[in-house]
Structure 1
Amino acid sequence: MSLRLAVTGLTGQVVSALIERAAKDIEITALGRPQLDLGLRNAVLAGLRHARCDAIVNAAAYTAVDRAESEADLAMRVNGEGAGHVAEAAAELNVPLLHLSTDYVFDGMLPRPYREDDPTGPTCAYGRSKLAGEHNIAATHPNHVILRTAWVYSPFGANFVKTMLRLGETRAEVSVVADQLGNPTSAIDIADAIFVMARRLVEDPSPSLRGVFHVTGQGDASWADVAEATFAAAEKFGRKPVRVQRISTADYPTAARRPANSRLDNEKLAIRYGLRLPPWRQSLESCVARVLMDKTGSRAV
């Protein structure tokens, strides 16, 4: 069957992946600023009313994690209140809502990967704003899935993998934090999962398909591990070797406090939807290959 998705956001990594990966029977209507500003309720409602969709994907967000410490009100207006506005529109249109959230809703203190029902406890303004969005959605529209993901990278926009590739052009050594653990996740893999989930939600009213799901690449890593994998993949394309100097979080202070453990358990997604995202190293190699090949054309890193 054909599937019409209204997606909030125009240029984010997941939005770009959704637009690129959409099959011929999937119609994407991307809505973003200035026409649709998540912080403006009436603009959100009006924009989504006219989208003629089978489901809504809320992929737009305030994502400047460190700047959010000094712009907490703005982050809350977009990520917290804005998510509620999108949920209100989805409820009015009687369509499923798929909302992207984050590992930052947890405090990172558990010694194991976080499950969906583990207690939340964000340690930064960005995490608090995203958790508020989760709560607003749950209180507004029961026909939803909240997709918590982490450490997103892709050939699109700005992200850690592309930053490492850029630094590797001019440096022989890069210092990278090695005491934060998480699940590197390809935006392309997220997009593919969203298509599968959206179809199921449109076709199947089962409550077991609704609620919170963790959606990350298979396998965990530190940021230093991701950097080493990125440079190793780049060497296959003739890039010079780059050493990774492993440092601690204390050696690289940031305005926002990141969770030391961002690993997310994906078993619920596998059980309910039969979905497992590919191993992160596999998807990362594909991403690096594409970015470096694109450099020889018109697209820059």
Structure 2
Amino acid sequence: MENTFLITGGTGYLGNTLIRHARARGLPIAATFHHQTPPAATDITWYPLDLRDPTAVRRVITEVQPAVIIHTAFRQYDPDLMAITGEGAGYVAATAAEIGSRLVHMSSDVIFDGEKAGAYTEADPPNPITDYGRAKARAEELVQHHHPHAAIVRTSLIYGFDPLDRHSAFALAVARGERTEKLFYDELRCPVFVDDLAAALIDLAQSDYRGVINLAGAETISRYEWGRLLAQAYGLDPNRIVGTLSAESPTPRPRNCALDISRALALGYRLRGVREVLQASGKLKPSRES
């Protein structure tokens, strides 16, 4: 399919937004799904795909013959986490390279151990301390091996309002007293608005950029602070958000996952910080505190 964009994980949060943005630009779209049944759409060709099956990966990609693949599909807690998120990315990259498709691969800020002072740049090598981080680091390794011309995107927590993402929904449930978990003072992230990220990914896919690039929000913020901002934005009491240190987590967590996005900004990508997005959406009024 000439000029087709193939979006893996099309029923996921990012995948769904990518489809909306690609459709708005008039791009021909194909997408894959696994567990979640896709919505009916006459302008999108959907393909069931199990990333654990290299034969199935090759069959779908060779049938579609996409000009571009944006690989968003992953599992974070699945027993087959490494097989899907890690090795599956290698199958996608190998077939994309074989047929000459442009590849944009989604990676993560949790490929680092979180011990760096300051933000991570594209030159920083992975050093994961979680199973998900190890799977994402393995995926990067395989993509670089099989498809050296691919773009590898390291991003952070992806959020949005319509529909609400799971990270924001969790924080708001805490603020409403529906959950009792605490949010970490010392876990630093760069949350990225899903529409900003989707627009940047489509632009990136249409460029010749190769290698790693950080596409994350412009503001570094702790999980605790982000939870308080969301509570305030939705008219809830931010004091219901209780903080703690990541050392209290039963499993290791990288503390500082801040990403340096200076390269992306220099290339013209629009990546806003949390406060700017909340204010632009009318959910948060500018103030000295926010």
Structures share fold, TM-score greater than 0.5 = yes
Label 1:286 to 1:89 Cα distance change in 2 as closer, same or farther (>3 A). farther
Using the TM superposition, give the Cα deviation of residue 281 of structure 1 relative to its aligned residue in structure 2, in angstroms: 2.0
Aligned position for 1:267? 262
Aligned position for 1:30? 31
CA deviation profile, 1:51-73 (whole Å, cap 9, x unmatched): 24220000000122xxx6xx3xx
TM-score normalised according to structure 1 size: 0.82
- After superposition, residues 144-183 of structure 1 pair within 5 angstroms as 144-155=150-161, 156=163, 158-170=165-177, 175-183=182-190
Q: Are 1:49 and 2:62 an aligned pair?
A: yes
Using the TM superposition, give the Cα deviation of residue 37 of structure 1 relative to its aligned residue in structure 2, in angstroms: 1.0
Aligned position for 1:223? 223
Aligned position for 1:94? 100
Using the TM superposition, give the Cα deviation of residue 168 of structure 1 relative to its aligned residue in structure 2, in angstroms: 3.0
Letter in 2 for 1:97: L
Aligned position for 2:210? 210
More divergent stretch after superposition (140-149 vs 20-29): 20-29
Could you list the runs of 5+ residues in structure 2 that have no partner in the other structure? 36-47, 284-290
Instruction: Give the secondary-structure state (helix, strand or coil) at the position aligned to 1:160.
Output: helix
Q: Are 1:277 and 2:271 an aligned pair?
A: yes
Aligned position for 2:202? 195
Label 1:41 to 1:284 Cα distance change in 2 as closer, same or farther (>3 A). farther
Aligned position for 1:248? 245
Letter in 1 for 2:32: L
Label 1:178 to 1:97 Cα distance change in 2 as closer, same or farther (>3 A). same
Could you list the runs of 5+ residues in structure 1 that have no partner in the other structure? 202-208, 290-301
Label 1:169 to 1:274 Cα distance change in 2 as closer, same or farther (>3 A). same
Instruction: Give the secondary-structure state (helix, strand or coil) at the position aligned to 1:50.
Output: helix
Letter in 1 for 2:73: A
User: Within 2, Cα distance between the matches of 1:185 and 1:55?
Assistant: 23
- Residue pair 1:172, 1:241 contacting (<8 A) in 2 also: no
User: Within 2, Cα distance between the matches of 1:62 and 1:102?
Assistant: 12
- After superposition, residues 4-83 of structure 1 pair within 5 angstroms as 4-22=4-22, 23-33=24-34, 35-64=48-77, 71=79, 74-83=80-89
User: Within 2, Cα distance between the matches of 1:288 and 1:40?
Assistant: 45
CA deviation profile, 1:44-103 (whole Å, cap 9, x unmatched): 111112224220000000122xxx6xx3xx211112210110001211220110000011
CA deviation profile, 1:90-127 (whole Å, cap 9, x unmatched): 11220110000011111111111001111321001111
Aligned position for 2:232? 232
User: Within 2, Cα distance between the matches of 1:176 and 1:286?
Assistant: 25
Percent identity between the two aligned chains = 29
Label 1:274 to 1:76 Cα distance change in 2 as closer, same or farther (>3 A). same
Q: How many residues align?
A: 268
Higher relative contact order (CA closer than 8 Å, sequence separation 6+): 1
Label 1:26 to 1:241 Cα distance change in 2 as closer, same or farther (>3 A). same
Q: Which of these residues, 108, 114, 125, is aligned with residue 120 of structure 2?
A: 114
User: Within 2, Cα distance between the matches of 1:13 and 1:167?
Assistant: 21
Q: CA RMSD in A?
A: 2.3
- Residue pair 1:103, 1:149 contacting (<8 A) in 2 also: yes
Q: Which of these residues, 238, 252, 258, is aligned with residue 253 of structure 2?
A: 258
As a proportion of its length, which structure holds more helix? 1
- Residue pair 1:98, 1:144 contacting (<8 A) in 2 also: yes
Label 1:285 to 1:78 Cα distance change in 2 as closer, same or farther (>3 A). farther
TM-score normalised according to structure 2 size: 0.85
Letter in 1 for 2:276: Q
